[in-house]
Amino acid sequence: DGGITQSPKYLFRKEGQNVTLSCEQNLNHDAMYWYRQDPGQGLRLIYYSQIVNDFQKGDIAEGYSVSREKKESFPLTVTSAQKNPTAFYLCASSIRDSTDEQFFGPGTRLTVL
Amino acid sequence: DQQVKQNSPSLSVQEGRISILNCDYTNSMFDYFLWYKKYPAEGPTFLISISSIKDKNEDGRFTVFLNKSAKHLSLHIVPSQPGDSAVYFCAARGYGAGSYQLTFGKGTKLSVIP
């Protein structure tokens, strides 16, 4: 079955710790994205990558970092510099430059205590 | 400045009736529009889309209408079913910084009452 997996579904961390969220896809998509969703808010773009070893900042990249060493994987690190890290994080992928939709993973709920 | 606006945070509709979800946008360069459906604690799933060169697209119970002059689109669900209860996000595609990106609205929570 093709799709996007994110793990874990729920994650708890102490304030001041970095944490890395996993995102893997087997859809052979070139482009991958990370979004953040807060209550009552739409999805806001954190980072995106159109191709391996390349990525760009989205609208709210401060306090986050990413890597794209493999086509299938696009991990997101939430650093201690992110002021309000508690949120629901969504990873997505799409065929590069496609008119079609982005496919989303199930999301990771991060809670920083 | 919000480029994609869904001004109704919530909507309640009786089962079997029509649900109409609205979305307004400000950027005239958006060329493609999508609707996503999202259940709690899950990722959004694609529902239906429309290109800016069309004014209507239909898929089963779901129809999206686009009024470019008004920069307005709407999603019609008829007949509405309890399983349609979810948050619906409107998204618009624009090109910038060498790539296409989606801009999402804040969502409308639809409740279909049995």
* Phi, psi of A17, rounded to the nearest 5 degrees: -95, 140
Separation of alpha carbons A80 and A64, rounded Å: 9
pLDDT digits (tens, 9 = 90+) for A11-30: 999 988 999 999 999 999 99
Which of A88, A97, A101 is the best substitution to test chain B (most B C-beta atoms within 10 A)? A101
Task: Locate the chain B residue with the closest alpha carbon to A91.
Answer: B43
Q: Does B51 reach chain A within 8 Å, measured CB to CB? A: yes
Separation of alpha carbons B27 and A6, rounded Å: 32
Distance from CA of A29 to the nearest CA of B (A): 14
Q: Does A16 reach chain B within 8 Å, measured CB to CB? A: no
Separation of alpha carbons A16 and A85, rounded Å: 10
Separation of alpha carbons A87 and A46, rounded Å: 12
Query: CA dist A63 to A55, A59, A107, Å?
Result: 15, 12, 19
Inter-chain CB proximity B101 and A109 less than 8 Å: no
Pairing of strands B19-25, B72-77: antiparallel
pLDDT digits (tens, 9 = 90+) for B19-58: 999 999 999 989 899 999 999 888 999 999 999 999 999 9
